[in-house]
Structure 1
Amino acid sequence: MTAFLRVLLAAAVALAALPALPAAAAAPAGMYRFVVAIGGLKTTSRENWVRLATYSLTADGQAYDSHFHWSQRVRVNRSYTGVRGSGCGARDCEVQTANGFQATSSPKQLSGTYTLTGSVLRITWTGNGWEEWTVSEPIPGQLAKLSYRGSSFGATHGYGYGSNATWSQRASMAQIAAFDHQRLKHDYHLWKTDAGTPYLDEGAGAPFWMTGWRRCASGRCLGGANSATDYYLATANATSTDRRDTIWHWRRELADGRGEHCYTGNSHVKPMLQIIDSSGGFHGWVAVEASLNQSSPSQGTSADDIGVFELSEF
């Protein structure tokens, strides 16, 4: 064997001994960043939970989750956002949201791997089970949609959308105010009670109850009212520049009955994450309701409203 052949053979052996590079994973519809609302909602349970998350996928099959979580097992009061809803049709009040959503960052993280088999996305979270979604493409090359299939950790319902927009890309309140909200369908699964008996309030297709939003003086919220209810739509806090928004609404007669101008009882708090396509276009929100009872001790969890929903064009 010549010296040249000996060098080639040694090189081949050395290459064979190197660890294999990870295979490139097929991203769902080519998208790597997803906003997701997911929850476990059962009429037989009073330990229902929801979480609102961002999923970041990588080309080598890794998945990273950052999320907020609310559960009937952990009794928490609402929190103030620091955003005031003045001059926008509702009462001049500081907007409330679900406890913790106003924080500077999400408190919980998961990591794992993902696979895509045909149109089925499966994410396996290290130490936290798996979930599956069916992937579709409402805007080819710009936006992917996730339709919930199932999980091993008790989730029952969910919504998700993904693109390659950065996490700092969002629609401003001015853009949201100018958007035609009649285009956004309201699909929802909400755990509630009727005379103490749990049921799931579910619906699909119609717009949200408030569509005539007006910009507030702060530039960080929208407001509106009908004959009975005040509505607010605001950023999660007074400084955030990410995808987080929140809806807060309450019946005016309940505030008046307590002698309050701004209601401090069991209002509806609905954290949301904007759906943004790869070109920066706005298409609505995935969201949760985490309205845990804070003012009716005798009712306990029977005064909770908790669930997942979407306000989207798709």
Structure 2
Amino acid sequence: MQMGVFRRLAAIGAVVLFVLASTTGVAQAAASPLGKQNWVVSLASFTPSADHTNSMRLGYLVFDPASKFVKHDFWLWKQQDYPIPVNSGDVYYCGQWHPGTNPKNNCAIRTGAGFTGEPNGHYTGTYAYDATAGQVIVTWTDSTVNGVSGKIDLGETWAVSQPRTGLGRLALTANTYGLTTGIGYGSNASLAAKASMTTIHGAERPYVLEGQGWNSDQVATWARGHAGALTVGPTWNACDDASCLGFVQYNAGCDANSCCPKDANHDACVQKIKDTGDRRFYSMTGILGGRRDSYEFYCECLAYGKCYLANSHVRPMLQVLDDAGVFQGWVGAEVSPHVGAGGRHAEADHYASFALVS
């Protein structure tokens, strides 16, 4: 009789332990924002003043629900450092082009300075996630940037939302150190996982822009969907080795004043833009490691048959994947300091912190 009681008690105890273990597991998973541990984020400090002290970070956030620690590995760009774009290591050449019709053949695809290497910045700290309030508060306590380490005390508050199943979104709502924008997307897909250019090329999808940009001592904020979208898919050309994609946009609205000097050939230059279809060239490479891609574009009239090495728009980006590892878009940073004659013109730089997510 007693043995039967003990067996029943043991069975009840096993059920209780199982329920407690399951509940604890759920609580641990929920302790990271929406239960998502791996995020890609873009942040910036933009100011309309003419002191040109803008800066941007693009990188990874990893939340550890067991310890409540958070780690941020990032690439850092400061406007005052004049971060001239570099070659990504990939060359834009698409075999589908008819000979003589693509002036970008064999031109390097450029990216942000330092983006071909590992992140040059690292923060570690702690976080508190309030699922009811839909926010996570991060406190950074330790920093290593360009090999220099030290203690810091920086705070960030992010609003947490779920735009679709298997994907989380972070939007910066407050901070203690001058950031003006921040956007991130996260899931439990490995940060080593990445969609190929072939996969991205295979589906026609618009990726909707949101974020903040800077040019001419002005700051522009883009609410999601307000400023348009980048559509990538089969209409783009796939490079022969599947490492990159390219596209030509006709009637692009390129500025004749940027392309055509005010000289005796000005009118002929303006007419040539019309005769050649007013084209803008786009290229994107996926050869970089981790979640890294890079995207560059410029107006044909700036180069005409040559590789353009001056003021293209250069955008290093990190892929957004959902829990199932399905590609959903990018977060990125534009790093396009002005390159030209007559010395440094910082007001002509283009910087941006953005997301392009379907």
Which consecutive residues of structure 1, in runs of 5 or more, have no partner in the other structure? 1-22
Q: Are 1:268 and 2:313 counterparts?
A: yes
Q: Check if 1:123 corresponds to 2:142.
A: no
Change over 3 Å in CA distance of 1:116–1:199 after alignment to 2: same
Which of 116, 121, 124 is equivalent to 1:102?
116
CA distance in 1, matches of 2:230, 2:341: 27
* One-letter amino acid of the counterpart of residue 158, structure 1: G
Q: Secondary structure at the match of 2:351?
A: strand
TM-score of the superposed pair, with normalisation by structure 1: 0.83
Residue pair 1:210, 1:231 contacting (<8 A) in 2 also: no
SS of structure 2 residue aligned to 1:253: helix
Q: CA deviation at 1:293?
A: 1.9
Deviation (angstroms), 1:202: 3.7
Aligned residues: percent identity?
28
Secondary structure of 2:230's aligned partner: coil
Deviations 1:227-281 (A, max 9, x none): 321101112xx4x34110111111111113xxx6110101111011111011101
Residue by residue over 1:146-175, the C-alpha shift from the partner in whole angstroms, topping out at 9 and shown as x without a partner, is: 122021121111110111111111111011
Which consecutive segments of 4 or more residues in structure 1 shift more than 6 A?
Answer: none
Shift of residue 291, structure 1, vs aligned partner = 0.6
Where 2:281 maps in the other structure, the secondary structure is strand
Q: Where does residue 4 of structure 2 map in the other structure?
A: none
Count, aligned residues: 278
In the other structure, the counterpart of 1:192 is 215
Q: Which amino acid aligns with 1:218?
A: D
Displacement of 1:296 after TM fit? Answer: 4.2
Give the corresponding residue for 2:282. 231
Select the residue among 25, 31, 35 that pairs with 1:26.
31
CA deviation string 1:285-311 (max 9, x = no partner): 011111112324445201200111111
- 2:199 pairs with one of 169, 175, 180: 175
What one-letter code is carried by the residue in structure 2 that aligns with 1:36? V
Q: Which runs of 5+ in 2 are unaligned?
A: 1-26, 142-151, 251-278
Residue 263 of structure 1 aligns with an amino acid whose one-letter code is Y
Q: Is the CA contact (8 Å cut-off) linking 2:200 and 2:232 kept in structure 1?
A: no
Question: Compared with structure 1, are the counterparts of its residues 297 and 78 closer, same or farther at alpha carbon in structure 2 (3 Å cutoff)?
Answer: farther
* Aligned residue identity for 2:171: S
> Does structure 2 conserve the Cα–Cα contact (< 8 Å) formed by 1:246 and 1:272?
yes
1:248 partnered with 2:296: yes
8 Å contact from structure 2 (residues 209, 229) kept in 1: yes
With CA pairs under 8 Å and 6+ residues apart, which has the higher RCO, 1 or 2?
1
Larger helix share, 1 or 2: 2
Mapped to 2, the partners of 1:109 and 1:253 lie a distance apart of 41
C-alpha displacement at 1:82, in angstroms?
1.2
Q: Which residue number corresponds to residue 159 of structure 2?
A: 134
Is 1:285–2:292 an aligned residue pair?
no
Q: CA separation in 2, counterparts of 1:175 and 1:150?
A: 36
Letter in 2 for 1:247: Y
Per the alignment, residue 16 of structure 1 pairs with none
Q: SS of 1:219's equivalent?
A: coil
Within the candidate set 208, 211, 232, 2:230 is matched to 208
1:4-57 Cα distance to aligned partner (Å, 9 max, x none): xxxxxxxxxxxxxxxxxxx95811000111100110112125111111010111
How far apart are the structure 1 equivalents of 2:282 and 2:193?
A: 25
1:38 aligns with one of 26, 36, 43? 43
Matched-pair contact (CA < 8 Å) for 2:191–2:291? yes
SS of corresponding position for 2:229: coil
Classify the secondary structure of the residue corresponding to 1:76: coil
Q: Aligned-pair RMSD on alpha carbons?
A: 1.9
